[in-house]
């Protein structure tokens, strides 16, 4: 299991959108899909349930999400300890009206994740 595949998985899980995740990671959408497919093959489980254009995490995806967050947090902690820099990390719950969220939130979150990769939004608490 490669760290870059886990990071792609985390990005897709946060945004629940392969195209937006690819844009955020500066990858082609096919590359992100391939990284997820590799993880699914390694684990022998589907991580996302595809319902038309929408996707949701499967039970296996929910389970991996928790471990992937721990693994990437540990990576950042190790990098900070070795380089002497610390990054911000944690979880944020966000509640906003649907009209504002659907228009502005995807772009705002994409920029935020680039600057603060270890700060996560609780997807259950993002109200649109």
Q: What is the pLDDT of residues 7-32, one digit of tens each?
A: 999 999 999 999 999 998 999 999 99
And the tokens for 4? 């870059």
Q: What is the average pLDDT value for the chain, to the nearest integer?
A: 83
Is it the case that residue 118 has pLDDT exceeding 50? yes
105 domain-assigned: yes
Whether residue 126 is contained in a domain is answered as no
24 within a domain of the structure (yes/no): yes
Q: Residue 24 burial by CB count (10 A; 0-12/13-18/19+): exposed, middle or buried?
A: buried
pLDDT score at 124: 46
Q: Is residue 128 included in any domain, yes or no?
A: no
Quick one: what percent of the chain has pLDDT higher than 70? 84
Instruction: Identify whether 100 is part of a domain.
Output: yes
**How many domains does the chain divide into?**
1
pTM: 0.67
Contacts of 114 (CB under 8 A, 6+ apart): 24
Q: Is the pLDDT of residue 64 over 90?
A: yes
pLDDT at 106 over 60: yes
Give the mean pLDDT of 76-103: 74
- The CATH number for 33's domain is 1.10.10.10
Domain boundaries, position 70: 3-121
């Amino acid at each position: 299991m490669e760290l870059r595949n886990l990071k792609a998985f985390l990005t897709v899980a946060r945004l629940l959108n392969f195209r937006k995740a690819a844009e955020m990671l500066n990858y082609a959408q096919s590359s992100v899909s391939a990284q997820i497919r590799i993880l699914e093959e390694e684990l022998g489980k589907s991580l996302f349930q595809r319902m038309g254009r929408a996707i949701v995490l499967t039970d296996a995806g929910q389970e991996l999400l928790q471990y992937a967050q721990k693994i990437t947090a540990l990576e950042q902690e190790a990098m900070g300890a070795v380089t002497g820099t610390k990054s911000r990390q944690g979880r944020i719950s966000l509640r906003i009206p649907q009209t504002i969220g659907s228009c502005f939130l995807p772009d705002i979150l994409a920029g935020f994740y680039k600057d603060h990769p270890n700060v996560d939004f609780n997807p259950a608490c993002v109200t649109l």
